[in-house]
Homo-oligomer: A and B are copies of this chain.
Amino acid sequence: MLKEHLMENNDKEKIKQKKIFDIASRAVLASRELRIISSDSKKNALIKIAELIDQKSEDIQFRNEIDVEAAKEDNLPAALIDRLLLDGKRIKSMTDGIREVAAMEDPVGEVLSHYTRPNGLVIDKVRVPLGVIAMIYESRPNVTGDSAALCLMSSNAVILRGGTEALNSNLAIGHYIREALKGTDIPQDAVQIIDDSDRNLINYLVSLKGMVDVVIPRGSEEMIETISRMSSVPVIGHGKGLCHIYIDSSADRKKAVEIVYNAKVQRPGVCNAVETLLVHTDAARSILPAVCEKLRSAQVELRGDEAAREICQMNEATEEDWSTEYLSLILSVKIVGSLEEAVEHIEKYGSRHSDCIIAEDREACDRFTDVVDSACVYCNASTRFTDGNQMGLGAEIGISNQKLHARGPMGLKELTSYKYLIRGNGQIRQ
């Protein structure tokens, strides 16, 4: 009986894997068509997608309600339910985003370099799509529309696997994307949604080397870790943002107060919000009280080391605080003896995402930006600017804090690779 049961389960798993394999096979075929698609065809298709989603907004909201109701029944946290919710405004904002991507410059086909070798070989290094992207993400269903638009505009086929709690919403958005692609030059299979929330299938998907070219996980650190370990396909993780602001002894008080407040309070739940404040001991008495006062006006909880607690009243920070990405109105505070000590702390606890120095001394700024090895290193500005749109790179699929391929905001260009076209007239190697 047990054996039969196991065999049955095994068969079920195989049937499910076959479905994923078929999805990947169709994505490969679609990606081959996309290699030679024109910019106009892509722009036209994206506009059609935006139009249809706008038209079907009510139906998508209806499907979304099913997810939201289920989440409420399951007593999921209010913040998660809020992120899950799609109202008319959020759907409009998603379709505006898709139209923005359609208006962006096509990255594919760009000639990155062109030169002639002494033997007459003419070499062009040309930007090409990555191929098939597997995108694995959590909760917010508007990511489905954003990601599909960015992948299509960069001529990639995409396989989308969103969070279980958003399955109905994602399937609805995916359905209308594919509907809209009918009658355009883009094959429908360029966008496919996995409708099975079995987690083992993710492991199977990321094992399909040779079919899937890149895996982009976007979500919790654990999720990204697990996928990185399981995957035989290259992974670009969009993970943790444990961002620091260091107030140097040469800092301007007003700038310090405004920047720290903005970086913590303007949107605390995102990866580019600040989590730890480092203050030079010489600036602590003159600047920290004003910073704390302003933060308290927004109900920010402060957790400090002993030296910080001597200057402002706050809770005690434990060792764990330095490595915690709060994603909420909490800030840890540490007094340091030097810029070097601040850098050491960032090196030890940071996530190489966004780190900032506030200093009027140009030399101190340069030392900090030279040595700190993060995707975005700031001098006198809020870490909240780490964002494709804010940095003038256009919409982004996420923010990478790994060093390979894409670092920081990952937009259209970062969704491409290149190849060398080498033209000769009979050259052979001596």
Within 8 A of B (CB), among A246-295: 252, 254-255, 258-259, 261-263, 266
Assess the B370–A35 pair: CB atoms within 8 A.
Answer: yes
Is there an interface contact between B385 and A121, defined as CB atoms closer than 8 Å?
yes
Chain A residues with a Cβ under 8 A of chain B:
32, 35-36, 115, 117, 121, 123, 128, 130-131, 209, 213-214, 225, 228-229, 232, 234-236, 252, 254-255, 258-259, 261-263, 266, 347, 365, 369-371, 373-382, 384-385, 390-392, 402-405, 407-408, 417-429
Q: How far is the CA of A381 from the CA of B117 in the complex (A)?
A: 13
Smallest beta-carbon distance A355→chain B, Å: 10
A178 to chain B, nearest CB (A): 24
Q: Are B373 and A422 closer than 8 Å at their CB atoms?
A: no
By a CB distance below 8 angstroms, the chain B residues around A382 are: 427-429
Q: Are B232 and A378 in contact (CB under 8 A)?
A: no
Interface of chain A: mostly helix, strand, loop or mixed: mixed
Q: For residue A209, which residue of chain B has the nearest CB? A: B228
Among residues of B, the one whose C-beta sits closest to the C-beta of A28 is B347
Q: Would you call A392 and B115 a contact (CB within 8 A)?
A: yes
Least CB separation from A225: chain B residue: B232
Kindly state the separation between the CA atoms of A418 and B414 in the bound complex, as whole angstroms.
12
Check A377–B419 contact: CB distance below 8 A: yes
Q: How many copies of the polypeptide does the oligomer hold?
A: 2
Complex Cα distance A297/B380, Å? 71
Q: Chain B contacts of A121 at CB under 8 A?
A: 381, 385
| A338 CB, nearest partner CB in chain B, Å | 16
A201 to chain B, nearest CB (A): 18
Complex Cα spacing A369 to B111, Å: 14
Say which residue of B214, B255, B347, B391 sits within 8 Å of A32 (CB atoms).
Answer: B347
Most buried by B among A225, A228, A429: A429
Task: Find out whether the CB atom of B426 lies under 8 angstroms from the CB atom of A258.
Answer: yes
For A347, list chain B residues within 8 Å (CB): 32
A427 touches B385 (CB 8 A): yes
Contact A426 B373 (CB under 8 A): no
Chain B residues with CB below 8 A from A422, complex form: 376-379, 381, 385, 391
On whether A425 and B232 interact (CB within 8 A), knowing A214-B403, A403-B417, the answer reads no
State the Cβ distance, A168 to closest chain B Cβ, in Å: 33
What CA separation (Å) do A237 and B154 show in the bound complex?
24
A130 to B352: give the CA distance in the assembly, Å: 12
B429/A131 in contact, CB under 8 A: no
Contacts of A379 in B (CB 8 A): 421-424
**Is the Cβ of B225 less than 8 Å from the Cβ of A427?**
no
Chain B residues near A376 (CB, 8 Å)?
419-420, 422
Closest to A369 in B: B421
* Selected A-B contacts with CB under 8 Å, 20 pairs: A32-B373, A36-B370, A128-B373, A131-B373, A213-B404, A214-B403, A228-B232, A234-B234, A234-B402, A234-B403, A254-B426, A262-B429, A373-B419, A379-B422, A381-B428, A390-B429, A391-B420, A404-B404, A404-B405, A408-B419
User: Closest CB-CB distance, A335 to chain B, in whole Å?
Assistant: 23
Do B428 and A375 have beta carbons less than 8 Å apart?
Answer: no
Find chain B residues with CB under 8 A from A123 CB.
391-392
Asked if A392 meets B209 with Cβ closer than 8 Å, knowing A423-B365, A428-B384, the reply is: no
7 A-B pairs with the lowest CB-CB distances in the bound complex, closest first: A381-B424, A262-B428, A403-B417, A405-B405, A384-B429, A255-B426, A234-B404
Complex CA–CA separation, A236 to B404 (angstroms): 9
Q: How far is the CA of A236 from the CA of B402 in the complex (A)?
A: 14
In the complex formed, the residue of B with least CB distance to A207 is B229
- Are A424 and B378 in contact (CB-based, < 8 A)? yes
Select from chain B the residue with minimum beta-carbon distance to A347.
B32
